[in-house]
Amino acid sequence: MRALNQLAGIVEAELRALAREAGVFIFVVFFPFMFSLLTYGAGQALTGGEASPTQWFYQLIGFTIMMIALTMSSSSAWYFRRGMMTGRLEYIFAAPVSPLTAVLSSALTSVIFNIASFIVVAAIGVIAVYGPYYLVNVIGVILFLALALLPVIGFNLLVGILTIFFREPEPVTNLINAVVSSVSGFTYPIILLPNFLQILGQVMPYSHIVNGARDILAGSFKYVQLSPHLFLLGYLIIGLIVFRVGEITYVRKSGVHW
């Protein structure tokens, strides 16, 4: 109960802070449109006007989910970084709060924030391409994402622990973001990639998430597509174990409890 209270407290404070920066929300909503329209324009040019709206929608949804995935994968790293820079981390740990609660709160905040932006982007995209009738599918995607994003929390925990040890999240998150973005088929089918990158893309959870979300929105999702996600939950378990091991190692190494 106490952990839940703490989690709610941190999430509320983080969301309040985010609410004061409307520019960030506008950016998160605007950026997928900008990117997908830019590539759509280029696609029109390259194909002599034969680029289709469904291709644009493919990239719009893919890019939006890519932003959610990248933010989620690095949210704890940035949480630690911001906390270390502002001194807030010390106050939170002095509360006392379990590091896991703090990290999960941060991940939950980014999920809420990004899902809110996804709803706006997906709703506009669905209306533009498939018509308002398909809007109900957005709800289905939200439910799907609630399950499918759980393995990403595993990644998030892993990156978070790396931040504590390396002190700088940027190089680590930049690298992970680059790999995840390019091999997960967010904005193009992964069959365009060399074979070994295709395998890497399928081993990670992201390509399954984005394909599932697209299929739900288009009304072509089959329940059998859920089965890989159950296996992918292994990432969450691995993340929790690594985080715990990292926590214990940190305490032993520094002699300081979090």
Partner 1 sequence: MSGRAAFIGRVAAELEKGLIIYSRYRIWLLSDLISWPFWTIFFFLSFLMYSPSLLSSQYHLNAFTWSFFTFILVSSFMWASNFLATSAQEGILEYVIMTGSSIREHMLGRSVVSFIDLAVGGPVLLLISAAGFGTKISVAYPHLMLVSLVLASAFFYFFSSMLAALLVSLRSPWIIINVAQFIIPFTSGAIPVEVLPPEIRSTITYSPFFYVIHPIVASATGQYFMPPVLVFMVGGILCLAIYLASRVLEDALLRRALRHGKFTLF
By the criterion CB under 8 A, which residues form the site for partner 1?
21, 23-24, 27, 30-31, 34-35, 38-49, 51, 55, 59, 166, 168, 170-172, 174-175, 177-179, 181-183, 187-189, 192-194, 197
Cβ 134 to partner 1, closest distance in Å? 23
Looking at the Cβ atoms of 114 and 187, the one nearer to partner 1 is 187
**Residue with smaller CB distance to partner 1, 58 or 144:** 58
Is the Cβ–Cβ distance between 208 and 229 less than 8 Å? Answer: yes
* CA distance linking residue 227 with residue 173, whole number of Å: 29
**Closest approach of partner 1 to the CB of residue 51, in Å:** 5
Nearest-angstrom CA–CA distance, 79 and 75: 6
Q: How far are the Cα atoms of 111, 180, 205 from residue 202, in angstroms, in the given order? A: 23, 11, 7
Q: Which is nearer to partner 1, 7 or 210 (CB)?
A: 210
Closest approach, Cβ 257 to partner 1, in A, equals 28
Q: Which is nearer to partner 1, 66 or 108 (CB)?
A: 66
Question: Least CB distance from residue 9 to partner 1, whole Å?
Answer: 24
Q: How far is the CB of 22 from partner 1 (least distance, A)?
A: 10
In single-letter form, the type of residue at position 82 comes to R
How far apart are CB 90 and partner 1 at their closest, in Å? 21
**At its nearest, how many Å lie between partner 1 and the CB of residue 50?**
8
Contact 213, 126 (CB under 8 A): no
CA distance 167 to 162: 8
Q: Which residue lies nearer to partner 1 by CB, 100 or 158?
A: 158
**Quick one: 56 or 144, whose CB is closer to partner 1?**
56
Minimum gap (Å) between residue 19 Cβ and partner 1: 14
Q: Is 112 helix (H, G, I), strand (E, B) or coil?
A: helix
Cα–Cα nearest to 189, from 178, 198, 199, 177:
198
Cis peptide before 99 (omega within 30 of 0): no
Q: In 113-136, which positions are buried (b, 16+ CB within 10 angstroms) versus exposed (e)?
A: bbbebbbbbbeebbeebbeeebee
Q: How far apart (Å, rounded) are the C-alpha atoms in residues 212 and 184?
A: 13
Give which of 105, 128, 159, 172 is closest to 32, Cα–Cα. 128
CB closer to partner 1, 30 vs 258: 30
Q: Which residue has the tokens 């979090």?
A: 258
Give the residue with the Cβ less far from partner 1, 133 or 170: 170
